[in-house]
Structure 1
Amino acid sequence: MTVLYIGNHTSSSKGYAAMARQIIKNGGNTFAFFTRNPRGGKAKAIDETDIQNFLVLAQENHFGKIVAHAPYTLNACAAKEELRTFARETFADDLRRMEYTPGNYYNFHPGSHVGQGSEIGIQKIAEILNDVLTEEQTTTVLLETMSGKGTEVGRNFEELRKILNLVEKKSKMGICLDTCHVWDGGYDIVHDLDGVLNDFDHIIGLERLKAIHLNDSLNDCGSHKDRHARIGERKIGMEALVRIIKHPALREIPFILETPNDDSGWTEEIHVLKEAFYK
């Protein structure tokens, strides 16, 4: 039987086991979390007892892969070298910490080139990835698709492909597709989902699509604004989002809700989407 792995972005402040218990309560079987404060700073110490409790809960409740998220302040293509040093050190530290929960995903925003140009930004992102990726790691690092606001790198599939081309340890890399971001970036997933996925497959390869951030959007296609909305309430709509979770090319990868919600709202969204998926 095909399984829908769905959950929401949750707070890591209470530990892995607490995150798992909350997601189970919400009706989910995966989740995303920040490895540290989204605005940066030192990560909370790993509690190995907490990790073991989480691993038991995940196995008992048939969890899919979980998706860690780097802090927003990690900019691998920053113009200032001290910011790139922070990105490199945070990246390396987070990847070490991820090995306590082996075989999962670590997602990050490629960054903003802040006027240097996308080609220089792409080169700088690949340089840091080549510095921090190791043969021994079991974690797959995911580049996130971006909406193209400001000087963001990763505004289209071609830019993500260029980064991957420069990464030496390609087997450690994948993509997280954000539905709001690609819609705002100009990919019409409402009227031409198959066409968008075909483009992705031709440019990047569907085998590299490891996770999806499932969000509606406040804006029209191609707005380049990145404004998330609750499932089915705005421009993408419920029918299109259900087509995404049911698409045969996207089966059994984690879907993460990053909608503007609380736990009761995510519980309702998970219930509605699971009901539609298994209908």
Structure 2
Amino acid sequence: MLTIGCHLSSSKGYFAMGKEAVNIDANTFQFFTRNPRGTRAKAMNPDDVNKFLAYAGEHQINRILAHAPYTLNACSADEHLRILARDTMKDDLERMEYTPGNCYNFHPGSHVKQGVEIGIQYISDMLNQILTPKLHTTVLLETMSGKGSEVGKEFEELREILDRVTLQEHMGVCLDTCHVWDAGYDIRNDLDGVLHQFDQVIGLSKLKAIHLNDSLNALGSHKDRHAKIGEGFIGAEALKRIVTHPLLKDLPFYLETPNDLPGYAKEIAMMRNAG
């Protein structure tokens, strides 16, 4: 069965997100761990989490994905901002222990003219500081579009980060369809070729999640503008091929399209009918 969901607001808690997911025929979802444009986080509510875990078990909700706030930059030129990213992610991973066995996704960051090599070193250093053997969460590096000085626009950059992390068993990759398209990977006309390249560079065993988005921009634009399914340059048919591809169909898919809940419900139905 296709595992698919969308991005939901965490402001009302885990149980409310679970109910929203079921109402739109989703069996997973993504959420921000805290204010996506800041660092503030609500206190954890164990009762709410326990209600969600019971509800999730009843409704086969699994493999939820937490997303770090956009403001974090693990490879900033400013040491204070790097420390903020490290401490925030460390706290997020501690909070994720309330819902063990899931994933935590983050944007690698922007090296801000320091160079990709320095950016990669800062990111891997941070990961080595926050990952512990007892962790029950898999941390995912997200593929990026290459806007500005983003690290992660090429598979090789993500591979370099992974190679420098000691506890690699706690690491994986989240492939964002809009981002890889904008970075220049032609998933519309050469999906098999892109997956082969990913496998050769990173390894498909490291691919743990997919952000399913169309793109408002042409291939290789490095712009990062998400579009609703079928309203962008990738197109609905290409995205349907992704969710039904033999190498991908068992992964969880998370819609990040500019939508409301009824819009997400339509996209989920579209993808469920793709097979």
**The two structures share one fold, judged by TM-score above 0.5:** yes
Shift of 1:63: 1.7
Q: Deviations over 1:198-251 (max 9, x none)?
A: 000000000000000000001110000001000011100011000000001112
Mapped to 1, the partners of 2:273 and 2:190 lie a distance apart of 24
**Normalized against structure 2, the TM-score is what?**
0.99
Aligned position for 2:109: 111
Mapped to 1, the partners of 2:269 and 2:245 lie a distance apart of 18
Q: Deviations over 1:115-154 (max 9, x none)?
A: 1000000000000000000000010000000000100000
Q: Which of 111, 114, 124 pairs up with 2:122?
A: 124
Aligned position for 1:69: 67
**Normalized against structure 1, the TM-score is what?**
0.98
Letter in 1 for 2:254: I
Consecutive unaligned residues in structure 2, runs of 5 or more: none
Shift of 1:64: 2.5
Mapped to 2, the partners of 1:204 and 1:41 lie a distance apart of 31
Mapped to 2, the partners of 1:248 and 1:233 lie a distance apart of 25
Aligned position for 1:269: 267
Identity %: 63
Aligned position for 2:210: 212
Q: Deviations over 1:20-41 (max 9, x none)?
A: 1001111100000000000122
Q: Which of 152, 155, 158 pairs up with 1:157?
A: 155
Aligned position for 1:230: 228
Aligned position for 2:146: 148
Aligned position for 2:52: 54
Q: Give SS of 2:200's match.
A: helix
Aligned position for 2:174: 176
Mapped to 2, the partners of 1:44 and 1:159 lie a distance apart of 33
- Asked if 1 retains the 8 angstrom alpha-carbon contact of 2:66 and 2:103, the reply is yes
Shift of 1:268: 0.8
- Asked if 1 retains the 8 angstrom alpha-carbon contact of 2:242 and 2:249, the reply is no
Mapped to 2, the partners of 1:93 and 1:81 lie a distance apart of 18
Indicate the RMSD between aligned Cα atoms, in angstroms. Answer: 0.6
How many pairs does the alignment contain? 275
Aligned position for 1:27: 25
Mapped to 2, the partners of 1:265 and 1:251 lie a distance apart of 22
Q: Give SS of 1:197's match.
A: helix
Aligned position for 2:239: 241
Consecutive unaligned residues in structure 1, runs of 5 or more: none
Mapped to 1, the partners of 2:103 and 2:62 lie a distance apart of 11
Aligned position for 1:94: 92
Aligned position for 1:41: 39
- Asked if 1 retains the 8 angstrom alpha-carbon contact of 2:4 and 2:268, the reply is yes
Aligned position for 2:192: 194
Q: Give SS of 1:256's match.
A: strand
Q: Deviations over 1:46-88 (max 9, x none)?
A: 1111001111111111122000000001100000011011001
Mapped to 2, the partners of 1:73 and 1:79 lie a distance apart of 14
